[in-house]
Copies of this chain bind each other. A is one copy, B any other.
Amino acid sequence: MLRIGLLGAGRISGVHATAITANPNSTLVAVSDKFPEVAAKLAGAYAAETRSTEEIIADPSVDAVLIATPTDTHSDLIEAATAAGKAVLCEKPVDLDLDRARRCQTAITGRKLPVMIGFNRRFDSHFATFKAALANGEIGQPELLSITSFDPAPPPIEYAKTSGGLFRDMMIHDFDMANFIMGEMPVRLSAAGSSIIVPEIGALGDVDTAVVTLTYSGGQIAVIKNSRRSGYGYDQRIELLGSQGLLQAANVPENTVIKSSGSGVVAAKPVDFFLERYMQSYRSEWDAFVETVMSGNTPPITLKDGVNALMLAEAATISRETNVPVSLDEFGK
């Protein structure tokens, strides 16, 4: 039974606490947060203790920590926890600062216990089925990938201020998905973006609508489209043209009810909330982490994967600002 410390007690930590508890091989022993009363509330619901982050990391009886603290603390905590001999599952992104993430990657090199990054969407059953079909050769070789990722509605402007921008905060999921599906990093990236939904986002120098094109060494191409507002729910689609056909992962509708009338045939819109859409993937992610720790295998998503996604976010930010495609080689790919 793995004994788990949960660092950070925000909204997503409730999801993680449930997943930790549901897995028969892990148990939640302690929760920390910079607001101890928030930690206490979550800990109480799962019969865990409330401690400081330092105490949890120092406790030799804790086998692994799940880092769900603010992004700018991730690298420090990964280094501290691995130094203390703990396995780590860290929420995405690794960092907002690519250099810092890379130093973290260097720092943990050679440490025995796994560090896994929480790109939970890889564990979504639909996307996992998609990837398995591709790996199984069902559409031949990949040629042209499209990822559509539209939020239901824009985030509060306060959130946008500290998010690191659309590319680091939102599209980073899609960069990792592209890396997951294509199985390699692109060689070149070109970004377009604008703020046409929320002027305040534009005033921050950020964008709310963006398209990034990735080109691979073999000539394959990927396109990622992001918008901060769909108006019809959480739009999360992937499609890949291969040498022998097309794979698509469609949206998950709220229900299967269809109404036909004189004004058309109306089906339900996609589910609206990311927790509804991805609850299962958070649980499967945790199960994969437990399996990784217990088996001693390489984690399915490594810190390098986290750095790679961040590298693409950084490159996209630059390309969008300069209107020039960026070669990933320049980024030390």
Residue in B256, B261, B323 whose CB lies within 8 Å of A139: B261
Which interface residue of A188, A248, A324 has the most chain B CB atoms within 10 A? A248
Q: Is the CB of B190 within 8 A of A209?
A: no
A224-268 interface (Cβ within 8 A of B): 225, 227, 229-233, 235, 241, 243-268
Q: Is the CB of A213 within 8 A of B213?
A: yes
Q: Which residues of B lie under 8 Å from residue A324 when comparing CB positions?
A: 324-325
A66 at the interface (CB under 8 A from B): no
Q: Is the CB of B129 within 8 A of A257?
A: yes
A179 at the interface (CB under 8 A from B): no
What per-residue 1/0 map shows which CB atoms of A205-234 lie under 8 Å from chain B?
000011101010011110101010111110
Q: Is the CB of B221 within 8 A of A257?
A: no
Tell me the A residues contacting B by CB distance below 8 Å: 125-126, 129-130, 133, 138-139, 143-144, 146, 148, 150, 188, 190, 192-197, 209-211, 213, 215, 218-221, 223, 225, 227, 229-233, 235, 241, 243-270, 323-325
5 tightest A-B CB contacts, nearest first: A194-B219, A245-B261, A232-B260, A250-B256, A246-B260
